[in-house]
Structure formats: C-alpha cells, structure tokens
Amino acid sequence: MSDLLSSLDNAVSVLRQRAGAAPDVAVVLGSGLGAFAETLADATVLPYAAIPEWPSSAVVGHAGKLVVGTHASGARVAALSGRAHLYEGHHVSRAVFGVRAMARWGVPRILLTNAAGGINTAFTQGALMLIEDHINLLGANPLVGPNVDALGVRFPDMTYVYDRELRAMAVEAAAAVGVPLQQGVYLATMGPSYETPAEIRAFRALGADAVGMSTVPEAIAARHMGARVAGISCITNPAAGVVDQPLQHDEVMETAARVRGQFIALLDAFIARMVKA
C-alpha cells in the first residue's frame, strides 16, 4: 500500500473510533471564520495533534482542531478549524491531508472557506463570494508524484471543480436568508507576502475576482477523490493597490469577525439545503 494511503487510513481509523461514521459535510474554516465550529451540538473535538499524520497549523486565527457534531439542520458536520498552508512550509501534499482524510473517511461534500482579498472592485469589504472557478498560481499541485489509483485517476477533470448543484444551492440559501452573495474566480498565490499592486492588476486581467493563499490544493485533491466541492470566500480587504493603503493581517481578522453572523447564517442555510437534496 502507498505511504499516502496508509497515512490516510491511520487517520481515518482514529476518526472512526472517536467520531463514528463519516459526516454528511466537511467544512474547512478560513482565517477568522472558526466560530461556525462552535455552533455544532454534541460535538467531538479532536485537536489536530490527536489525529495521526495530521499537519499542524500555526497561523494566528486558526485553531487547529477538528470538530464533529450535529448541525441545526440535523446534518452531521465535520468542521476543520484551521488548515495547513504552503507558506508555512508545508509540502502541498501535506497541506491537503485533512481534506483527503475527510474524503477517505467517506465525507461526500466538502465546503472550503477562506479569507481573500477583493480584486473585483465591485466587491465591498466583508462581501461573501461563492467560488465559481479557480486559477492556480501556487506553482504546486497536490497530485504531483506517483498517482494513487485508489484515490483517483492520473489526470482528473477540472472543468467542474466547484459543483454546479451545490453552487445553485448556495445561491438559493443566500437569497433565503437575505445574505448578499457575490460569485467569482479565486486565484491562489503562495504568499505569505501579500501581492503587489502590479500583481493584482495582472490577476484582474487574468480573470480573477479574489486572491488568497489556500483552498485551491484542497479543491484539486477533493475533486481527485470524487468528493463534491463548494467554496466561499470572505472578502476581508481590497486587494493590494485597489485602495492606497497597506494590507494587514489584523484587518483580515477584523473583517472576518464583523461578518461572522452573515457567514454563519449562509453556511446554516447552505448546509440545510445540501443535506435535504
């Protein structure tokens, strides 16, 4: 068996022992968006360090724990509070370990969330954006290396990374709870330095609406394994040069905290629709 498969299976056996059968949905919570995890009832909380092989994340605003519990809709949800980023020095195949463990456990739907800079000038600070598609400028792909056929095919299709039915449900959910929801293309860069204004102008010309340092490897790995993927960005700041002021991580955290209520309302309605369908 490949090292990757045995690592995943070690993690999954602990997940099964501690949290039972695979949940209906896994939600990866981006910077400052961890509060959703606290809304789950009867929760089993597993610090990442308690799960074999699971990479740690040391970023401020990321808790580093898996919370498995019951959502208000009745769905069983796994919330990944904290993720491993490439800019921390994690190899891309490590950065996607958590999402792969979810899919290997049998979780059928994976909702990726993140904080992102707004490239599209129509987006206000604090807007929520449904990810329609992505552009991978990380210079890395989690599928590089020998393909593990038990996980997926060598050359997976990426025409429909972000599941169309799930996207339609997100749009309906947003309308139902009165939360404005933008839609657009997420572009991933390695970071950790923020972009320059010239890079942002270039990314806009490429067709990007938002920029961030995560999500894309997870989306690729989850699609490879056949999980259905959805993505929501919180536009925490105008991207570099959109307004004439420097970017700060504190601002990212403050904006994410400010829209927490809307973000949770959207997730609640979206998850309820996902599991009803």
Give the residue numbers annotated as catalytic, written as ranges.
Answer: 31, 62, 85, 87-88, 115, 213-214, 237, 249
What dihedral angle (degrees, nearest 10) is formed by the CA atoms of 254, 259, 261, 267?
Answer: -120
Of 13 and 124, which CB lies nearer to ligand HPA in the complex structure?
A: 124
Reference 225, options 101, 139, 134, 138; nearest CA is 101
With contacts defined by CB under 6 A, name the span among 81-89, 143-151, 164-172, 210-218 that binds ligand HPA: 210-218
With contacts defined by CB under 6 A, name the span among 38-46, 94-102, 211-219, 259-267 that binds ligand HPA: 211-219
Residue 116 is a binding residue for ligand HPA (CB under 6 A): yes
Residue 81 is a binding residue for ligand HPA (CB under 6 A): no
Contact 159, 236 (CB under 8 A): no
Contact 186, 216 (CB under 8 A): yes
Q: How many residues bind ligand HPA (CB under 6 A)?
A: 13
Residue 256 is a binding residue for ligand HPA (CB under 6 A): no
* Rounded alpha-carbon distances, angstroms, from residue 207 to 164, 187, 200: 19, 9, 11
Residue 213 is a binding residue for ligand HPA (CB under 6 A): yes
Of 163 and 209, which CB lies nearer to ligand HPA in the complex structure?
A: 209
Residue 255 is a binding residue for ligand HPA (CB under 6 A): no
Judged by CB under 6 A, the residue of 51, 211, 269, 272 near ligand HPA is 211
Nearest distance in Å: CB 160, ligand HPA: 25
Judged by CB under 6 A, the residue of 51, 110, 115, 221 near ligand HPA is 115
Give dist(CA 243, CA 86) in Å, integer: 27
Give dist(CA 255, CA 260) in Å, integer: 9
Nearest distance in Å: CB 186, ligand HPA: 10
Nearest distance in Å: CB 217, ligand HPA: 14
SS3 state of residue 81:
strand
- Looking from the CA of 177 toward its CB, the CA atoms found within 13 Å total 20
Give dist(CA 261, CA 52) in Å, integer: 33
Q: What is the dihedral sign for C-alpha 133, 63, 249, 253?
A: positive
In the numeric block, the tokens 């969330």 are attached to 113
In the numeric block, the tokens 């299709």 are attached to 157
Token readout for 167 is 């996207």
Nearest residue (beta carbon) to ligand HPA: 117
Nearest distance in Å: CB 247, ligand HPA: 5
Residues contributing to the site for ligand HPA (CB under 6 A):
115-117, 194-195, 211-213, 236-237, 239, 247, 252
